[in-house]
Amino acid sequence: MQTMVREMDKILYIFKCYLMPSLLILLIISLFGCGEAEYSSTGCGNSDCGSISFQMIWEGAPAKEGGSAVPMALDCTGSEVSTVAFEVYDEDGALLKSNFFSCSQGHGTVDGISSGINRSLVVLGKDSREIVYFRAEVGGIEVVAGHDSAIGEVAMKSYYGTAGSIETPGEARDVFVVGSFGYVAGGDNGFTVIDINDPMAPAIAATIDTPGFAERIVVSGSYAYTADGSGGLLIIDIRNASSPYIVGSDSTDGYAYNVAVTGTYAYVTHGGPGLSIMNISDPSDPVMIGDYVNTGGDARAVALVSSFAYVADWVVGLQIINISDLSNPFIIKTYVTQGNPECIKVREGYAYLGLDATNAFTVIDISDTDNPILTGSINISGSPSDIVLSGSFAYVATSEALHVINIEDPENLTLYPGSHYGRHTFSAYSRCPFGRGHQNFLYQ
C-alpha cells in the first residue's frame, strides 16, 4: 500500500513539474501564436497580408530647425501635433487596420493589411487631446500579399474640423474663452456661458437677457465686458460661471459695437460718435472719462498697443489715436482704406484689418504712427467678422468661411488652401472670431 502511494506521489510530481508547464506553453502558443503581433482587425494570416509605406509631407506646417533632410521634419511643438494616427479601409469603407506612431517619425509603414485592391490610407496628425490638426487621404492602393506597396509622399494638409458644437439661443456674435468656459455675445439673446470642459460635448451653463443687442465681449479678471449695441457697455460678474449677473453698465452716445479692456479702463467703439474711454475701477459704476473721440464715421472695432488706440472706422478707414492722456485723447493720423474696416488686430508694428465691401484682408505698417503704409492685401470670400493672429497665421472669420492666411511675410500674403467653408462664421477656440450664425463652432 505504501508503495502504491509513493508511486502516485511520483506521478503527481511529474505532472505538476513537467507536464503542466508544457501544457500551459502549448495553450499560450495556440491562443496567441508566434512571431510579430498582428494589429489588423481582419485577422489575416501573414501569408495573406501586405504592407503600405509612405513619406509624410507637412504642408504649411512649421519645420524643425537645423534639419538637413528633405522634406524637412515637422516641428511637433510648434505645430501642436503629438501623434500621427493611420487608418486603412477596404473598397467598401470597412476599417481594416488602425494604429499610431510618434509625431517625430517622418515616415511610416503599415503592415498586416489583408491583400486586395482599392485600399485607402488615412493619416491624421493629432494633438494630445486627440483633435486633428492635419489630414491626408490616399485611395486606390493595391495591397499584394507578402509585398510592400510604397506610395511615396503623402501630403498632410491642415485640417479644420469641428471639435464640438452646440446650438446657442440666438446669434453667436462673439466669444471669449477662459479656462473651461466660453463666454458668448448672442445678439438679441444676450449673454451665454458655455461649459467647454469637454470640447467634444459643450453645454450651456447660463444665459442672461441683456437690454440691447450683444455684439462683442471681452473677459478680464472676474468680469465680462459686453458691447451691447443700444444697451451700451455692460459689466457682468462671472465669478460663478453658472450664475452670472450684470453688475454695472453705462450708456454710449451711439450703438456700441466693440470693447477692449486694459487695466481699469474700457475702450468702447460706437456708431456715429467714435471711441469712448471709461473708468471701470468700480465695476458697479463705470464712468466715462472726458468726451468721446469723433472718428468721423462709424467706429466698429479697436485694438490697443502702448499709448495708442487703433480704430477700424467703417466709413473713414484706420484711425490712430493717441491715448497717453486719457482725459484728452486725439487722432494723430487717418489712413483711408480701400474698403470698409469691420475688424482689426495689431501686432509688432502691423495693423491687420478685415475690409467689408471689398472683402479683403489688409496689412498696414504702423511702425511709424505718423506715416502708416500699406504693406499687403489679399482677397477673401465673405464679409470679415473678426481676426485672430497666431504665430505666422491670421485666422479670419467671414460670413462664408474661416480663412487661414500666412502672414510670415506681410508683403506676400498667402491664402492657405485649408480654409473652411460654410454658411456661418466660426470660432478658432481661443479668443477668436465668432459670429452671425446660430451655432457656435469650436475649432482646434
Q: Is the pTM of this model over 0.95?
A: no
Instruction: Tell me if domain 46-158 and domain 168-443 are identical in fold.
Output: no
For the chain, the maximum distance between any two Cα atoms, rounded to a whole number of angstroms, is: 118
Q: What is the C-alpha to C-alpha distance for residues 217 and 196, in angstroms, rounded to an integer?
A: 17
In tens digits, the chain (444 residues) has pLDDT values of 444 434 444 444 433 444 334 333 333 333 333 333 333 334 465 578 999 999 888 876 665 554 443 444 677 776 678 888 888 988 877 888 888 887 777 788 888 898 898 898 988 888 776 777 788 889 899 999 989 999 998 888 876 556 677 888 878 889 998 989 999 999 999 999 999 988 878 999 999 999 999 999 999 999 999 999 999 999 999 999 999 999 999 999 899 999 999 999 999 999 877 999 999 999 999 999 988 999 999 999 999 999 999 999 999 999 999 999 999 999 999 999 999 999 999 999 999 999 988 889 999 999 999 999 999 999 998 889 899 998 888 989 888 778 889 899 999 998 875 455 443 333 333 333 333 333 343 333
Strand 191-195 relative to strand 299-305, pairing: unpaired
Kindly list the domain boundaries of the chain, sorted by start residue: 46-158, 168-443
The verdict on domain 46-158 having CATH code 2.60.40.10 is: yes
Domain 168-443: CATH superfamily is YVTN repeat-like/Quinoprotein amine dehydrogenase (2.130.10.10)
Which amino acid does the sequence have at 49?
C
> Residues of 84-94 as b/e, b for ≥16 C-beta within 10 angstroms?
bebbbbbeeee
**Which run of H or of E encompasses 181?**
strand 181-185
